[in-house]
Amino acid sequence: MHSVVVGTSGVTASDVLAVARDGARVELSGEAVAALAAAREIVEALAAKPEPVYGVSTGFGALATRHISPELRARLQRNIVRSHAAGMGPRVEREVVRALMFLRLKTVCSGRTGVRPSVAQTMADVLNAGITPVVHEFGSLGCSGDLAPLSHCALTLMGEGDAEGPDGVVRPAGELLAAHGIEPVELREKEGLALLNGTDGMLGMLIMALADLDTLYKSADITAALSLEALLGTDKVLAPELHAIRPHPGQGASAANMLAVLKGSELTGHHQDDAPRVQDAYSVRCAPQVAGAGRDTMAHARLVADRELASAVDNPVVLPDGRVESNGNFHGAPVAYVLDFLAVVAADLGSIAERRTDRLLDKNRSHGLPPFLADDAGVDSGLMIAQYTQAALVSEMKRLAVPASADSIPSSAMQEDHVSMGWSAARKLRTAVDNLTRIVAIELYAATRAVELRAGLTPAPASRAVIAAVRAAGVAGPGPDRFLAPDLAAADAFVRGGHLVAAVEAVTGPLA
């Protein structure tokens, strides 16, 4: 099995995906172990001094003014984990929890947190054993880190609370640790706080959303090209020289993708009457501009994610000169903003896809296609209600695009009086990505049927490859009405699994 080695300088997005989604093993580098030990020496030296140091010998948050005597400090660290493990609601997904744990381990291994090497190794052991703490939907305000979610993970390290084993069964965490030969940790000064204070949940969800959106944006370029083809639109608007004079990188990439899909098509530029269109509708003609702006937003989000992956997010932190200093690096604003930006562009991509689907189904605007792409309109309703489903999804996407990061609610007796709501932004983005997949799948379903209904004209080779692949995947073509939900589910699985992009790239080569 593939292994990911965690050092002191951070990890990559590919590392996160490998651990979260593919179950890759985690190893600590020798450099990381040495850095952990050096930082721990600094913390222990400060703990031995009579002067209070925040996070080492004091309480936390609004209770930071109390000096904690040495005999109570282990209890303090246990108590912060237990009291902060206060999440409620449904369980979050296994991949999210694995990303959360791995990213916290990444910061721990930076040597900036003061955690002992043995605690870091236990974190890796839990991941490698396939043990997944039970983490709940609600509990993070995205400031002072994803506190409740990370606390539930730390609770598992202590052998408390509940966790899911590699067999998918939820059991007491202590039983799972014992079954895998893992000793529960006894937390010491600063360690409880260090395990809770990070933007790891929202960052993990950002990285996974970016990976999914990368596939979805390519998929949307493909379905836009198929719709253009089915509507007998012109591909002249995709010419590279037109996009070069407005040089947004994403726009040029989307236009190039659409042009590659349409290469060799006999459908583009034809008209069913003697009144040729001067221009196609915005939803067709401006597809690269809309999808391209979303791609450029993703590029900015990747930049933020990469910076965060290279960061050590904790409070206080151990500096190379031996100081332990408080800071505000746990604030989730940088991540929260881009999570919200992505929800906005995903909603707009879904919106323009739905407009193209509606155009394919409307006999007054589809340039000769049957109403609702029905076999016998009136007797058959065709894809009428598939578009209703798509419209409902788009409406939900618009609600999900309302930014979470524009909100803030004070906590901790007004000590934490401005929070990022980044976890909430991440949770709604996951729903938005899920819905966008369904929206693109419905456009695919409509566009492939519409292309097949253009008898006498040969689609592009890439279009033919898509139609063949989607039909082989169990998605029916034109014909009388049938139970539609299974077809839409099969189209969704086809897009979600990356099969749409794969079918095209087998003909065109890699898309941008």
Q: Which are the catalytic amino acids?
A: 54
Angle between helices 94-108 and 13-22 (to 10 degrees): 140
Q: Is residue 244 helix, strand or coil?
A: helix
Report which secondary-structure segment, H or E, holds 242. Answer: helix 240-244
Buried b (16+ CB within 10 A) or exposed e, 327-361: eebbbbbbbbbbbbbbbbbbbbbbbbbbbbbbbbb
Of the candidates 269, 275, 223, the residue with the CA atom closest to the CA atom of residue 438: 223
The Cα–Cα gap between 200 and 205 comes to: 9
Buried b (16+ CB within 10 A) or exposed e, 478-509: eeeeeebeebbebbbebbbebbbbebbbebbe
The Cα–Cα gap between 176 and 499 comes to: 37
The Cα–Cα gap between 72 and 338 comes to: 41
The label of the residue with tokens 């870091």 reads: 120
The Cα–Cα gap between 332 and 141 comes to: 9
Of the candidates 164, 480, 205, 228, the residue with the CA atom closest to the CA atom of residue 335: 205
Report which secondary-structure segment, H or E, holds 450. Answer: helix 422-452
User: What ranges make up the beta strands (E) of 290-411?
Assistant: 317-318, 324-325
Strands 162-164 and 170-172: antiparallel
At 123, list the tokens.
């974190």
Which residues lie closer than 8 Å to 178 by C-beta, 6 or more apart? Answer: none
Q: What count of other Cβ atoms lies within 10 Å of the Cβ of residue 410?
A: 12
Question: CA angle, 390 as apex, 388 and 396 as ends, to 5°?
Answer: 105
The Cα–Cα gap between 463 and 287 comes to: 17
How far from the centroid of its chain's Cα atoms is residue 101's Cα?
16
Q: Is residue 425 helix, strand or coil?
A: helix
Report which secondary-structure segment, H or E, holds 28. Answer: strand 25-28
Quick one: DSSP state of residue 68?
A: P
Position 14, amino acid = S
The Cα–Cα gap between 176 and 165 comes to: 7
Alpha helices in 50-146 (DSSP H): 73-84, 94-108, 117-128
Report which secondary-structure segment, H or E, holds 3. Answer: strand 3-6
